[in-house]
Amino acid sequence: MKYKVEFSQAADEDLERLFDFALQRELNSETGDLDIPNRAIQAIRDGMAFLMSSPFACRKAGDSPFVRELVIAFGSTGYVALFEVVDADTVIIGAIRPQREDDYH
């Protein structure tokens, strides 16, 4: 079974914020690697590909069995995507955060 993975508006904004943050960090670094922001976004896309086939393999996030978190490895930490399986065909990404960030709000 293949699930369709959709991004909420908030998750789209998160992707832009994460890319901009990584780009600024690399621009401000003496040894900046401008490919890192693109590789970070690719790591997130690879995680979304996993959700297309196995969203229930991810850890639960709260009381509902349909709200879950995907841990996305990247660098020394990575990202966490909060998502909901809304029906038998669709997963909606609600938010994406760096693993070191406290919450999704």
88 part of a folded domain = yes
pTM: 0.88
104 part of a folded domain = no
Q: Are 56 and 41 in contact (CB under 8 A)?
A: no
Q: Which two tokens stand for residue 52?
A: 């297309």
- CATH number of 17's domain: 3.30.2310.20
71 part of a folded domain = yes
Structural domain boundaries enclosing 62:
4-98
12 part of a folded domain = yes
105 part of a folded domain = no
Q: What residues does 92 pair with on adjacent strands?
A: 6, 84
Which tens digit of pLDDT belongs to each residue from 37-63?
Answer: 999 999 999 999 999 999 999 999 989
Q: What is the total count of domains within the chain?
A: 1
Task: Name which of 60, 6, 48, 97 is nearest 105 in CA terms.
Answer: 97
103 part of a folded domain = no
Round the average pLDDT of the chain to a whole number and report it: 92
